[in-house]
Amino acid sequence: VGEHRLQSVIRAVGKVEYDEQRITHVNLRLTGWVEDLFVDYTGQMVRKGEPLFTLYSQELVAAQEEFLLAVQAQKNIQDSPLDEVLEQGKQLVAAARDRLRLWTITDKQISDLIKRGTPQTYVTIYSPATGFVVDKQVFKGMYVKPDITVYTIADLSTVWVHAEIFEYETPLIRVGQTGLLTLAAYPDDTFRGDITYIYPYL
């Protein structure tokens, strides 16, 4: 006869799903027409910083022109003896630059714009995250608006398993406990995970 801790093994059916904290929705902050589509099918792997598509936007062309005018105006007044004039020139350029940044234009694209000296008709939209495209709502030639989620990208380096347990087993479950997962697709493998969340309604 000996003493040892009793152990309960709970078996449950689970469903593998995306980690909600690792899903990125790609929405634009301006309107325009899609020209070139680089990521063109669901399930495609993309990395952060890779191009998704090019966009023509009249708003963006106008914003680039305003920025270039502000940069040129600052150059014209750089010899001014008045500090107030120089400061206004800096503020004008900064405001125009911030407007481009708000429309997800990168600093490199802004630097290229200054070197080029002319607005770029088409701007490239880059991926904000690394993962797989699980939903795509954009097509070549399509007119897109801010309320359209053009891509949904999921990082699958970590996934969730939603396990369903019986009511009488609820007191035995605690956050931090370890769970073992077996899948029909991999009968010889066992996957280990941690219980990270228990829904409040339980």
Whether residue 105 has pLDDT greater than 80:
no
124-137: pLDDT as tens digits: 899 999 999 999 99
Read off the pLDDT band of 87 (50, 70, 90): confident
The predicted structure's pLDDT at residue 134: 95
The Cα–Cα gap between 55 and 104 comes to 12
106-119: pLDDT as tens digits: 888 888 888 888 88
Whether residue 93 has pLDDT greater than 90:
no
Residue 68 burial (10 A CB sphere; 0-12, 13-18, 19+): middle
User: DSSP labels for 98-165?
Assistant: HHHHHTT--HHHHHHHHHH-S--SEEEEE-SS-EEEEEE---TT-EE-TTSEEEEEE-TTSEEEEEE-
Q: Tell me 38's DSSP state.
A: S
For the chain, the farthest-separated pair of C-alpha atoms sits apart, in whole angstroms, at: 97
Q: Which residues pair with 45 in a beta bridge?
A: 132
The Cα–Cα gap between 102 and 97 comes to 9
Read off the pLDDT band of 97 (50, 70, 90): confident
pTM, two decimals, is 0.74
